[in-house]
Amino acid sequence: MTISKLSASEQETITDAVLANSLKSQQEKRPDLRQLHPKSHALVWGEFIVENDIPPALKVGVFATVQTFPIWVRFSNAAEAEKRGKFVSDKQPNAHGLAIKLMSVEGEKVLDDEDKTQDFILLNHPVFFLRDVKGYIDIGKVASGQADPELTQAMQPSFAILQEMASKKISNPLLIQYWSTTPYKLGSQAI
């Protein structure tokens, strides 16, 4: 795990900029085409069951008590649409995602845009392509040709991971292994 060299204030400022850019991009694409992972393979309704055999140190948040949450699960493809209503064929390699949205979750939320939900976002690659939130800004600069040679060189590992993610050919989205790709704090532990 890489620890960010950015202060909490710098991370918050950059996060706000990334969010503003994402919202602008989503407005341009309209609500019928998601900004990221626009192609859905399936949307499934189910249950997320928290069992009793969780180690005491991990009984935090939604895992604190034995309970069952209703969930929505979305299987997706990261390929951009060729045009509105026309997606790249699933026969082409690309990154795939699995999003789990728990419903009826009580407690304080980091964001106030959805009440009583908790999301788990997974990708079909074991690591994320950026080290920290500043990477979103940096990769945008490189992709748009606005980066200096030093930054372009520094971002090569991120582009290599993206290339590896996008080169995976999938024969069946139900047979994919998914990872969280980023560390999370659960109680006092990183997971």
Measured in residues, the chain has a length of: 191
> Which residues, in sequence order, are CB contacts of 93 under 8 Å at separation 6+?
166, 167, 168, 169, 170
Strands 185-186 and 189-190 come out as antiparallel
- State mean pLDDT over 157-180: 88
- State mean pLDDT over 157-185: 87
- pLDDT tens-place string over residues 82-119: 777 777 777 788 888 899 999 999 988 777 778 899 99
> Which residues, in sequence order, are CB contacts of 17 under 8 Å at separation 6+?
137
> Which residues, in sequence order, are CB contacts of 112 under 8 Å at separation 6+?
none
The residue extents of the domains of the chain are 8-190
Query: What's the rounded Cα separation, in Å, for the pair 22 and 170?
Result: 27
The answer to whether the predicted template modeling score (pTM) of the entire model surpasses 0.85 is no
Residue 4 has pLDDT above 70, yes or no: no
The tokens for 175 are: 């047979």
Rg, Å, the chain Cα set: 18
Query: What's the rounded Cα separation, in Å, for the pair 113 and 105?
Result: 14
Q: Are 191 and 183 in contact (CB under 8 A)?
A: yes
Alpha-carbon dihedral sign for residues 182, 187, 189, 191? negative
Residue 103: helix, strand or coil by DSSP?
strand
Closest CA to 94 of 48, 154, 36: 36
| pLDDT-derived band at 1, boundaries 50, 70, 90 | very low
Closest CA to 125 of 156, 169, 161: 161
